[in-house]
Every structure is written in structure tokens, then in C-alpha cells.
Amino acid sequence: MTEELKTGSLQLSTEMHGFISSLVNSDSSSVDNPFESIVEGFRFAFSLGFFHGKTKKIGPSSQGIAPRGFVAKDYEVLIADQCQKIGISLGGLISEYAEAGVELMAEHHASGGLILDLLLTEL
């Protein structure tokens, strides 16, 4: 019998949270802010990290992501085995995938690429 996984919390490092926040569509004239909310950006970042098989530990300075918009249990089928193997909550592993995904986005952006390019080419 397997033990039920803990849901845990969703978070990003303060640095990556700030970066993803800058990509949220606002009244600014920036072309490269494709997301309607931080949760939407977090969801894409998780997908990007998961797709590339990359995770990154989150340091002590972090900010939470609203769990109402991203329900960790909805992703249990994808990562439950890995969570049990390494002894981490669903939210913890999702956050590590998202942290790696945001870092990939930041690197792409820093090299002159548009985030929208990632949306179009990674799907």
C-alpha cells in the first residue's frame, strides 16, 4: 500500500518570481509579456521544466504561487512516482520543475529571444 502524497505548497525563488511577474500582460507597451497571470506563467514554466526533465532547488528566499489557480493534485498522475521516490510533496516537485522552467525562459530572454518563441516552438 502506498502512502498518500502531501500536496505541499507552490513557490518560486524571489528572483524567478520577479522575472515571471515581468511577463504578465499589463498595460505596458512590451511585446514580450504573453501571460495573463503569474499562475499562467508558472504553469508554462512547469511544463517547460518537465518537458526538458529539469528541476532546480529553490533557495530560502521564495514567494508563493496561488494554489487556487494551479491545483497540484491535477498533476499527480505525471509525477507521483518521482515524488515518492525522492520523498517530496507534489507542490515541492512542481515548484522545482517550474523554477527550472523559469530559468530556461530567463536564459532564452537574456540571449535576445522572445518568450513567445518558446510558446510556439516548445509545444
Give the pLDDT confidence of 30-65 residue by residue, as tens digits: 677 889 899 999 999 999 999 999 999 998 999 999
**Domain assignment present for 43:** yes
pTM beyond cutoff 0.85: yes
Asked if the structure places residue 78 within a domain, the reply is: yes
Place of cell 528566499: 61
Q: Is residue 6 part of a domain?
A: no
**CA 29 – CA 22 distance, rounded (Å):** 12
| pLDDT bucket at 123, cuts 50 / 70 / 90 | very low
75 belongs to a structural domain: yes
For a pLDDT cut of 70, what percent of the chain falls above it? Answer: 91
In a domain? residue 1: no
Residue 107 is assigned to a structural domain of this protein: yes
Domain that holds residue 80: 11-121
5 located within any domain: no
For cell 537574456, what's the residue? Answer: 110
- 53 CB contacts (<8 Å, ≥6 apart)? none
* Residue 4, in any domain of the structure: no
Number of domains in the chain: 1
